A and B are shown apart, each in its own frame.
Chain A
Amino acid sequence: DAGITQSPRYKITETGRQVTLMCHQTWSHSYMFWYRQDLGHGLRLIYYSAAADITDKGEVPDGYVVSRSKTENFPLTLESATRSQTSVYFCASSVERGAADTQYFGPGTRLTVL
């Protein structure tokens, strides 16, 4: 199916474990983003990528690692999960970054860290 997909949709893990959240888009958009959604905070940008092999930090990057070897994939890794990383994670993509360009969002991954 065309669009932007995320997997898994739900994940429960334990403190200290490594977790990777996957994001895949079929539009060949240049830009991809990872956000976390927490009650009272809206969405906050973790990392973004302008193209394959080009990534940069967002507002809340600590504890996260990203890579982008292919245009269509943008995985997010929590190297050693902490309880504060319990959140809903959204991946998004867009043609350009900023200005009037629309971001298109995946369905989200709900992550619980015990």
Chain B
Amino acid sequence: AQSVTQLGSHVSVSEGALVLLRCNYSSSVPPYLFWYVQYPNQGLQLLLKYTSAATLVKGINGFEAEFKKSETSFHLTKPSAHMSDAAEYFCAVTEGDDMRFGAGTRLTVKP
């Protein structure tokens, strides 16, 4: 069975600073990996997904994530945080039919 662990339930960065949100997965086979973002009082929106085509995946709003098989990681990064990036971010993995979500990381951006 697969699972996903997000390290850090809360991350705070200053505007313009690097954003790094960590996600590790466990899977017996190469997984499909996703990052979703949830803005306040809204549903989840897909940021990006890894489907084995390329290890570095670029998503919307300047986010990207790199799949590292040796580290079983799929960390989300953005070079320069914007106030509008404040939200909750969920890493998810599918192996077979089920999508499993991490507990989420709340990103705060300070002016």
Contacts and interface: CB of A to CB of B under 8 A. Distances in A.
B102 A105 contact: no
Q: How large is the interface on B (under 10, 10 to 19, 20 to 34, 35 or more residues)?
A: 20 to 34
19 contacts: A4-B43, A35-B101, A40-B9, A42-B90, A42-B101, A42-B103, A42-B104, A43-B44, A43-B101, A58-B98, A90-B43, A98-B94, A98-B96, A99-B32, A102-B34, A102-B46, A102-B49, A107-B43, A108-B42
B41 interface: yes
A103 interface: yes
**Which of A90, A99, A104 is most buried by chain B, counting CB atoms within 10 A of its CB?**
A99
Interface in A56-114: 58, 90, 92, 97-100, 102-108
A42 B91 CA distance: 9
User: What does DSSP make chain A's interface, helix, strand, loop or mixed?
Assistant: loop
